[in-house]
Structure 1
Amino acid sequence: MKYLTNPRQIEAQSMKIIEGLAKNLPADPLARAVVKRIIHTTGDPQYAELVLFSGGALEAGQKALRQGANIITDVNLVKTGISAARLNTLGGQIFCYLSHPEVVKRAQLTGKTRAMTAMEYAETHLANSIVAIGNAPTALFRLLEIMEEKPQLRPALIVGTPVGFVGASESKELLAKMPYPFITVQGNKGGSMVAASIINALLYSLS
């Protein structure tokens, strides 16, 4: 059986197939590239109907990355899925505080999830960063609370795609009501690799 072995050819063919399968892809070239990257990662054309962008979110993300913004993630799977090499060339780094000893200690003392405790720990690093939350709804809820309490800490962009059946849809609905630059996914779908694929699409757009 003959099959493609060249990575570039495989990706190009995948993107061509996605164009034929996905309905209602965004007209904007960058938004289209982001949605196609999500579909490429998940194998699910339905994402073309689910991704939401706030006005100016893509531009805000590109600007932040060009200026060397750091990325804060809720879980290590998001961190490992992002192209650190591309980010590093722009001067940025990726941080996940989920397993930081102080976060673990605080979560044990308070009974809160480590994901939301990690957002609290990252508080002083939020301003002008990009926050990518792909797994934990509690992290997104807590991030939005912090921003309401301390608007001066507002990130440049929030990528919020937590997945699941408890709080995931609700946290993303709340994000979509906020006056902040965001990219999110409606409903229960999402996940760490979705969040990472959004960041990667923005990074690739700058190469």
Structure 2
Amino acid sequence: MNLSGVILDPHEIESRSFEIIDAEVGPHDYDRRQWPVVRRVIHTTADFDFAAITRFSGGAVEAGIEALRGGARILCDTNMVRAGVNKASLAALGGEIDCHVADPGVAAAARAEGITRSIVATRKGVDEGCRVFLIGNAPTALFELLRLAEAGRVSPALVVGVPVGFVGAEESKEALLASGLPFITCRGRKGGSAIAAAILNALMLLARED
């Protein structure tokens, strides 16, 4: 195979990709802090719908950056989310990321109560003092986090709520939009592990660059 003319340098590939995204999206309503987050999601998915459906609460990016610089403990809803997080960036900021959905004790408690493991895992993360939440797959995790916040059990520094799917995903994100919590989300059915991880990675870059 002849690779002549193919860009092989990873930094140049990323830079060129961002140029293409900027050109194809054109003018938008995101500010200088929000746009790098949205652009990285588009870069991760090659899905330009995210230029229209991504939503931020006021000051969400700044709140996320502050929490990350303070070494906030992070909870994610699946190991797929955790796998996509840049561990070097997280370590440089002094942060930790947990995922309890596969813990044996969580599974046992979920069976005993007849609820999802995601609900029990969210409760465990809250009890352990997590302040940043990445939810890319489980609407029940997002609903439970909102319930705990309403009950005064947790005051999240930031909720990245982007569960994907057909049952409860859109509804949980609409509930997040109305919650008054600091959030980054995307409306509708789209979302997923890669999007949640991409958002955190973008926030960590901003936290380290500023």
SS of the aligned residue for 1:184 comes to strand
2:129, 2:27 → 1: CA distance?
34
Match of 1:73 in 2: 76
* Runs of at least 4 residues off by over 6 Å: none
Match of 2:105 in 1: 102
Match of 2:118 in 1: 115
1:150 equivalent among 129, 149, 152? 152
SS of the aligned residue for 2:49 comes to helix
2:163, 2:68 → 1: CA distance?
22
Task: Answer yes or no: is the 8 Å Cα contact 1:113–1:138 preserved in 2.
Answer: yes
C-alpha displacement of 1:23: 4.9
Task: Answer yes or no: is the 8 Å Cα contact 1:135–1:163 preserved in 2.
Answer: yes
User: Quick one: which amino acid aligns to residue 137 of structure 1?
Assistant: P
Alignment identity in percent? 45
Instruction: Encode CA deviations 1:90-136: one digit per residue, 9 max, x unaligned.
Output: 11111000111110110111121111111112221345x21000001
Q: Does residue 1:138 correspond to 2:143, yes or no? A: no
Match of 1:162 in 2: 163
Give the 3 Å change call, closer, same or farther, for CA 72–57 of structure 1 in structure 2: same
Task: State which drifts further: 178-187 or 107-116.
Answer: 107-116
Q: Does residue 1:25 correspond to 2:28, yes or no? A: yes
User: Quick one: which amino acid aligns to residue 174 of structure 1?
Assistant: A
2:191, 2:37 → 1: CA distance?
14
C-alpha displacement of 1:188: 0.2
Task: Answer yes or no: is the 8 Å Cα contact 1:126–1:154 preserved in 2.
Answer: no
1:46 equivalent among 42, 45, 49? 49
C-alpha displacement of 1:26: 3.7
Task: Answer yes or no: is the 8 Å Cα contact 1:60–1:156 preserved in 2.
Answer: yes
Q: Structure 1 regions of 5+ residues with no counterpart?
A: none
Instruction: Encode CA deviations 1:152-202: one digit per residue, 9 max, x unaligned.
Output: x21100000000010000000000001110000000001011011000000
SS of the aligned residue for 1:29 comes to coil
C-alpha displacement of 1:27: 4.0
SS of the aligned residue for 2:33 comes to helix
SS of the aligned residue for 2:159 comes to strand
What is the TM-score when the length of structure 1 is the normalising length? 0.95
Match of 1:205 in 2: 206
Give the 3 Å change call, closer, same or farther, for CA 111–27 of structure 1 in structure 2: closer
Match of 1:36 in 2: 39
Match of 1:57 in 2: 60
SS of the aligned residue for 2:94 comes to coil
Task: Answer yes or no: is the 8 Å Cα contact 1:23–1:49 preserved in 2.
Answer: no
Give the 3 Å change call, closer, same or farther, for CA 100–4 of structure 1 in structure 2: same
